[in-house]
Amino acid sequence: MVDLDPIRRKVTGEAYTESLRKKEKTEQARGAGGQKGEAEAASPAGERVEVSDKALMLSRIQRALAEIADVRADLVTEIRARIERDEYHIQGEVIADKVIRDALKEMKSIRRG
């Protein structure tokens, strides 16, 4: 079963992604020749399932996103050090203004979409 994490919007399900990885390795071993519109992969129970090119692409995107850091640790460390040295000051009004502007932009884009 494939679950959707509503917070991170990542596709999860180890058995499913593992079968995609096995299929991808098989395709790489075969080379570029012999590609079909639909890829076939063995499920954990030994049954054959067909996985579309879109599903394989989704799997590749998922792996690429997993490699991207959610937080810029270097920037967080730098700002934290500046706060501790009492060198980082920002006005609350500036933060509030930015939050409101971002929320308005997001609301406008949702209405258009």
The domain locations on the chain are: 3-67, 73-112
Cβ atoms within 10 Å of 93's Cβ, excluding its own: 8
pLDDT tens digits along 40-72 = 555 566 788 788 888 888 988 988 888 876 778
Buried b or exposed e, range 19-29, using 16+ CB within 10 angstroms: bbeebbeebee
Q: How far is CA 80 from CA 43, 54, 72, 76, in A?
A: 47, 42, 12, 6
Model pTM greater than 0.75?
no
Catalogue the E-assigned strands of 1-113: 3-4, 11-12, 38-42, 48-52
pLDDT tens digits along 17-46 = 666 667 677 777 766 554 444 455 555 667
